[in-house]
Amino acid sequence: MRIFLTGFMGSGKTTVGAELAKLLSYPFIDLDEQLVIGQGMPVAEQFKLYGEEVFRQKEREVLRHTAVYTHAVISCGGGAPCYYDNMDWMNRHGITVFLHIPPEKLAIRLQSEKMQRPLLQNLSDEELALFITKKLQERLPYYLLAALTADATLPVKSLCAQIFRQLNDINGR
């Protein structure tokens, strides 16, 4: 089974994905990390050099390559479900999980990470909060297409346990 973790940047997809993969004894794949390896440069540099459209095309290609895994936990970039037919493809090829977290909690998490995140660079804390609220409203319709929704405000181990139970419910165990 492929498990695709979706959600806004800062929702914990990478951290939760690594922990969930251990719990399930599955390989863990971080799409952003795969893009860094494939392009030989950080995501922020790819955004600057190629622009968002080219980045999203490359992200889509990397996502499609996850089909070679029969079992894997795959952490998707925050925007990945919102471009092309990515969310539909993920729903057809695995189980999607939306890591939900309120915008005010996201703002707190992301304040110290602004320079590593291309869409947040150069935003004041007030602009950051407004950006998150607006962008989350735009992306929420895509995130809500996920098969499962999990409370990303929970501690990582509790959140993984919640996802694990939900996966078992889906699989009828």
* Residue 73 confidence class, pLDDT cut points 50, 70, 90: very high
Q: What's the mean per-residue pLDDT of the chain?
A: 93
Q: What's the pLDDT score for residue 36? A: 93
Q: What's the pLDDT score for residue 173? A: 58
Q: Of the ranges 70-74, 101-105, 168-172, which one carries the lowest mean pLDDT score? A: 168-172
| Residue 95 CA from chain centroid, whole number | 13
> Is 110 contained in some domain?
no
Q: Residue 50 burial by CB count (10 A; 0-12/13-18/19+): exposed, middle or buried?
A: middle
What global pTM score does this model have?
0.93
Average pLDDT over residues 85-112: 95
For the chain, the domain total comes to 1
> Is 78 contained in some domain?
yes
Find all residues with CB under 8 Å of 165, minimum gap 6, and list them: none
At 45-57, the pLDDT tens digits run 888 898 889 999 9
In the chain, the percentage of residues whose pLDDT exceeds 70 is: 99
Q: In this structure, what token pair is assigned to residue 94?
A: 């695995």
The 3-state DSSP class for residue 5 equals: strand
Domain, as residue range, for 150:
2-101+143-161
> Is 149 contained in some domain?
yes
Q: Which amino acid does the sequence have at 87?
A: M
Average pLDDT over residues 46-73: 93
- What's the CATH number where 52 sits? 3.40.50.300
The 3-state DSSP class for residue 75 equals: strand
> Is 118 contained in some domain?
no
> Is 41 contained in some domain?
yes
**What are phi and psi for residue 77, nearest 5 degrees?**
-60, 155
Residue 24's CB is within 10 A of a number of other CB atoms, namely 18
Distance CA 99, CA 16 (A): 9
> Is 120 contained in some domain?
no
> Is 172 contained in some domain?
no
At 112-126, the pLDDT tens digits run 887 777 678 788 888
The 3-state DSSP class for residue 18 equals: helix
Do residues 54 and 118 touch, judged by C-beta distance below 8 A?
no
**What are phi and psi for residue 29, nearest 5 degrees?**
-125, 125
Q: What's the pLDDT score for residue 16? A: 97
Q: What's the pLDDT score for residue 1? A: 93
